[in-house]
Structure 1
Amino acid sequence: MTLTTTDPQQRADLDKRLGMAAMCLAMVFLPLGDAVSKSLTAYATPFEVTVWRTLAQAVFFLPAALILRRHLQGSVLSLASLLSAALILTVTLSLITAFATMPIATAIAIFFVEPLLLTLLAGPFLGEVPGWRRYAAVAVGLVGALIVIRPNFVAFGPVVLLPLLASVAYALNMIVMRKATRHRSALSFQFGASLIAAGLALLVLLAAGLAGADLAGIGALPGWGLWAIAGSGALAMVTFLMITFAFSKVEASLLAPFQYLEIVGATAVGYVVFSELPDGMTFLGTAIILASGVYVFHRERVREVADTTPPVER
């Protein structure tokens, strides 16, 4: 019998391919949004760019949430969303500040110790204790991070530690999200976190202005600045929706290695837009981080297969 699109297995395979394609596109869009943010730091402080980007993302999220409202399940505003919002702002501000000083690809390479940190933090916070092989892979990956950080610390100073701070905050946010989405949909949780992050960012910006902080203001931007802010917000929102769609169709352990495509995209965007190219030590450290991360995901797949394989009757 000829299979049609109504066949469950064929439909599942199609969904999986669509999910992988969405993840790949998301990893292309992420560096583009980073490039826009880096360009804006030539006219305003990284803090201001973070606030504008966060507000723009929330604005674009409103119609998206309205269109996808049937996927909103559970409370939108919660303590978990507030914690996530604070962590998201930490990630965004840390990375944009780093982008203003160092190559995007170098910052992203350091940031990508995040999956390794998540492996370590999953034990005490989620009860997902990894085996010794994954602990060893994490140790190797952190060595790779040190290889990237050390020469760049000499060149750029303490700012190279900001992507590391961003990776810790992002890993903690993933833990918060995993726990929170047990009682609400991922869209509800992220929508709430996005709204709260925008509110917090706006409040801090107003407080900084009242305190007399040296801020450039949105009037300092060139003519294309407002379009750039809108574009970065739209890219952030579309990227999130693509990642959410991907994780709804494909197992997380299968999608995880696709995240490393962001490093490739960041390198390409950094070279084309800013004529930035990481040095040899950065490439070496990045390769070590990639290899250790892929091994961690491999071990996760092996564990899942072992858990789902029924015992052989004798």
Structure 2
Amino acid sequence: MAVNSAVGAFDAVIVRFVAAEVHPFGIVFFRNLFSLLFLAFFLRRIGPHPFRSPLWPVHCLRAVMKLAALVAYFYAVTLLPLSVAIAVAFTTPLFVSLGSILFLGERPRPLRLLALAAGFGGVWIVLRPDTVPVGLGAVLALGAAVGLAGVALLMKVSSSREPALRIVLLNLLVTVPVAFLLCLPVWTTPSPASLLLLAVQGAGGLAAQFAFARAMRLADASLLILVDFIRLPLAVFLGLALFGEPVEISVFAGGGIILASLLLLLRQERKTARQGP
């Protein structure tokens, strides 16, 4: 899980470094292209028919939603301090829980509603809309979190019927050509240095998915949430060291509240699983 968290932080750093040269559409394209190329080494693990699936419409919708979310997130990273962008990214599970209530018919239990209210209160503290005007970066970061929550909800539909590797493969098979078409009007051929960073980003993104899946099988979910939170102090350190971004106490305070709300949501889900719906 620490690998997944570190990759998440350094992913944002790479975006910052290459964004001056490559449009976010291009960053998304190359990131997914390199992920697909590295995934080709694991095709045999998927089975004899890696491209056969009864859920192609679901995979296509999920891929387009993830593409839009990545573009929004990469734009946000160029507009916000690293720590703020990553703190807002932690709200994705909150939107997943809210979406489960609104669209999957899950019961809005009091503890769950309390956790959601606390989590979104943490977002308010991070963004401070009462003192700092809500800019495009904050809107894009929240939009990315909502989009990734939709991706996670669609994952619930397909994860019980298909292996994770096939889901990742089919997602990339849709995302890469769509991202290529999007970046054509703003195409810029990356320099060798930027191309190397994008290759590292693509390999890291794929490794993070494998690491996360492995961690979910080996460790308790509450421990994984705590470990994943290292992304925030790591982002604060990288933002200060590489880009001279100030350390904001409000980011740690709001991020801590978001973390507490996620642990509260996890507790409620466990209680519901024991008691039944």
TM-score (norm 2): 0.88
Residue 138 to residue 156, structure 1, CA distance change in 2 (3 Å): closer
Residue type at the aligned position of 1:218: T
Q: Name the residue aligned to 1:266.
A: 235
Is 1:119 matched up with 2:88? Answer: no
* Residue from 152, 158, 164 that aligns with 1:186: 164
2:9, 2:86 within 8 Å by CA — same for their partners in 1? no
Of residues 263-272 and 33-42 in structure 1, the stretch that sits farther from structure 2 once superposed is: 263-272
Cα separation, 2, equivalents of 1:254 and 1:197 = 32
Q: Name the residue aligned to 2:11.
A: 33
Residue type at the aligned position of 1:131: R
Cα separation, 2, equivalents of 1:152 and 1:241 = 40
1:103, 1:278 within 8 Å by CA — same for their partners in 2? no
Cα separation, 2, equivalents of 1:291 and 1:304 = 20
Q: Name the residue aligned to 1:69.
A: 46
Identity %: 26
Cα separation, 1, equivalents of 2:249 and 2:72 = 24
Residue 140 to residue 238, structure 1, CA distance change in 2 (3 Å): same
2:222, 2:263 within 8 Å by CA — same for their partners in 1? no
Q: Name the residue aligned to 1:296.
A: 265
Structure number with bigger Rg: 1
Q: Name the residue aligned to 1:83.
A: 61
5+ residue gaps, structure 1 = 1-22, 209-214, 308-314
Cα separation, 2, equivalents of 1:284 and 1:253 = 20
Of residues 126-135 and 101-110 in structure 1, the stretch that sits farther from structure 2 once superposed is: 126-135
TM-score (norm 1): 0.79
Residue 26 to residue 225, structure 1, CA distance change in 2 (3 Å): same
Shift of 1:249: 4.2
Residue 70 to residue 245, structure 1, CA distance change in 2 (3 Å): farther
* Residue from 141, 151, 158 that aligns with 1:163: 141
1:250-300 deviation line (CA, Å, top 9, x unaligned): 565664444333223322332333232442222222222122222212222
Q: Name the residue aligned to 1:218.
A: 189
Q: Name the residue aligned to 2:24.
A: 46
Residue 155 to residue 127, structure 1, CA distance change in 2 (3 Å): closer
Is 1:140 matched up with 2:118? Answer: yes
Residue 95 to residue 182, structure 1, CA distance change in 2 (3 Å): same
Shift of 1:156: 7.4
Q: Name the residue aligned to 2:75.
A: 97
Cα separation, 2, equivalents of 1:130 and 1:282 = 28
5+ residue gaps, structure 2 = none
Cα separation, 1, equivalents of 2:197 and 2:170 = 24
